[in-house]
Amino acid sequence: MNWRQAIAGIAVLASACASVPPPGSAVTLEVAGAPISAEETGQAFLYRLPGAEDPAGIAAQTWSMLGREDRAAMTGDSEYLPQPCTPVPDAPRGRESVVAAIAQQAATSRVVIVNESHTVTRHRETVRQLLGALRPLGFSVYAAETFSNAEDEADPVAQHSGLAWPHLVDGYYSREPAFGNAVREAKRLGYRLAAYEETPSQSAPDGSDRTSSIAARETAQAANLAVILAGMGPEERLLVHVGYSHAAETPLGQHGDLWMAARLKAATGIDPLTVSQTLCSSEGGEVFLALLPEDRPAGMVDIVLSHPLTRFENGRPLWRRETGAIAVPIPDQLRRTGQPLIVEAFLAGEPLDAVPVDRVYLEPGEDIPLLLPPGSYRVRAVVPATG
């Protein structure tokens, strides 16, 4: 059965059974209609499945974007393997206590830089919680590496500043639902969103070596953040959301690469509070503050978080349920198509070019649920892109 036959076969079902309130839950689903092709979304690349030619890291990021971190972990990606670290003596443990401890240290900082893995989505939940904890301290601007930085026009996040929801074109990684939920929270709390990524004119020339490319990008990011800071009020504070080594305050690697945080400090004289979520992970069941690993240069970052390894149930991360998400079965009329589908749940009232609250890929016979906070949602299914 091809996808067109499947669509024709369920069109009547979709219209006849549009509202599906899962028994015993506080979630209501409305099916938007029959599945559509990836091309019809205008974002076909987002609905492409990993291919055999993809490097393991790219495959892991793609599976994560599709709501299947269980498959990302199966690639052997090191970010789903233990990286034990020593707890800070007598430091608080547990999600809420650790976030509160970071906020306490941020009370005297004008800039907080927190990094993430581009695959492990629970890091984005930490950022979402930090947005709330830092807001009462005067943090009012949220700059994220993912946000697209336009060269000759307003950035997408500026164009969409009046929207209460994250737009799909605001950035790349922010298309992932956990990231989108962090952006949605930032908007709800009244943050101004800002883009700072390098623009094409700031990039190293084509053919440049790795060291030159890193230097150009890190210099551009720091310069763009310095401009953002210069335009902020004296009482305003800045939260910067980066990936991996961009949060480093010291040279790294055999080439002594100088990353964005170090360059920003040199350019502005502001000593940022830097937080890493990518250096440690434990077999334990709770997040804790850790000592900087001995194989890292002293002063690399100010705070190290050790998250527990991501565990899965029915193909979905257990941490999502710990934050109150409810496991909701995929509506029967979508599961009967007999084909692979990517199912997305949009908050009622938000359009289909918003970042969905959840997205999950499933194949025929897989019993993979959506994970949703209580509320009402519109659900659509997308047939994965081919090739």
Dump pLDDT digits (tens) for 193-247.
Answer: 999 999 999 999 999 999 999 999 999 999 999 999 999 999 999 999 999 999 9
Instruction: Tell me which residue of 136, 138, 160 sits closest to 147, measured CA to CA.
Output: 160
Answer whether residue 51 is part of any domain: yes
Q: Do 108 and 178 fall into the same domain?
A: yes
The residue out of 292, 312, 332 marking a domain boundary is: 312
Instruction: Tell me which residue of 17, 27, 22 sits closest to 372, measured CA to CA.
Output: 27
Q: Do 18 and 118 fall into the same domain?
A: no
- Residue 278: which CATH number? 3.40.50.11550
Count of CB atoms within 10 A of residue 313's CB? Answer: 12
Q: Do 223 and 111 fall into the same domain?
A: yes
Q: Do 185 and 307 fall into the same domain?
A: yes
Ramachandran region, residue 172 (left: φ > 0; alpha: ψ -120 to 50; beta: rest): alpha
**Count of domains forming the chain:** 3
Q: Do 70 and 108 fall into the same domain?
A: no
Answer whether residue 349 is part of any domain: no
Answer whether residue 375 is part of any domain: no
The residue out of 288, 312, 336 marking a domain boundary is: 312
Answer whether residue 190 is part of any domain: yes
Answer whether residue 365 is part of any domain: no
At 239, list the tokens. Answer: 């939260």
Instruction: Tell me which residue of 335, 337, 336, 359 sits closest to 347, measured CA to CA.
Output: 359
Q: Do 162 and 14 fall into the same domain?
A: no
Answer whether residue 53 is part of any domain: yes
Q: Do 158 and 238 fall into the same domain?
A: yes
pLDDT of 25 > 90? The answer is no
Q: Give yes or no for a contact between 111 and 270, defined as CB atoms under 8 angstroms apart.
A: yes
Q: Which domain holds residue 7?
A: 1-35
Q: Do 174 and 247 fall into the same domain?
A: yes
Is-above-0.85 flag for pTM?
yes
pLDDT of 14 > 70? The answer is no
How far apart, in Å, do the first and last CA atoms of the chain sit?
Answer: 18
Answer whether residue 299 is part of any domain: yes
The residue out of 287, 312, 337 marking a domain boundary is: 312
> What is the tens place of the pLDDT at every residue in 35-84?
999 999 999 999 999 998 999 999 999 999 999 999 999 999 999 999 99
Q: List CB contacts of 259: < 8 A, sequence separation 6 or more.
A: 214, 218, 245, 246, 247, 248, 252
267: phi then psi, degrees, rounded to nearest 5: -75, -30
Share of the chain above pLDDT 90, in %: 87
342: phi then psi, degrees, rounded to nearest 5: -110, 115
Cβ-count burial 228-265 (b if 16+ within 10 Å, e if not): bbeeeeeeebbbbbbbbbbbbbeebeeeebbbbbbbbb
Answer whether residue 90 is part of any domain: no
Q: Do 112 and 179 fall into the same domain?
A: yes
Q: Do 145 and 224 fall into the same domain?
A: yes
Q: Do 256 and 130 fall into the same domain?
A: yes
Q: Do 180 and 226 fall into the same domain?
A: yes
